Amino acid sequence: MLDRLNEVVIHHIDLNIGFDFSDIEPELLRILLQWNLFRSAPRFAQMKLTVTTDEGFSAILGRGTKVSLRGSEANLVGWLTGRKDSSVVLGAEDLDLAGPV
């Protein structure tokens, strides 16, 4: 169900009709952030990824080389879904999101 909800929200953003990640209700945005972190975890398997949002959410994924990411929940979801580039997330500059999840 979360996968479908994520898909619908991303589709609305992809339509380029003026709806952006910052327009998503905060509760839903947090859920989408958690879902996209879960889905992206295999990409970051070789690192210990610490994610901290401006809104106060934090999560730690994986093991290995420590990497810290910080940004708004909207920007993190945008970056994790490939709709925003790494410049919107502090610490993401050298991380590659290419390839399947």
Render pLDDT for 10-51 as a digit per residue (tens, 0 to 9): 999 999 999 999 999 999 999 999 999 999 888 888 889 999
What confidence category does residue 98 fall into, taking pLDDT thresholds of 50, 70 and 90? low
- Considering only CA atoms, which of 3, 40, 39, 5 is closest in space to residue 25? 5
Starting from the edge strand earliest in sequence, which strands make up the sheet with 65-71, in order? 58-61, 47-53, 65-71
Per DSSP, the residues of 18-76 read: S--GGGS-HHHHHHHHHHHHHHHGGGGTTEEEEEEETTS-EEEE-SSEEEEEEE-HHHH
Q: Could you tell me which CATH number the domain at 2-83 has? A: 3.30.1050
pTM for this predicted structure: 0.91
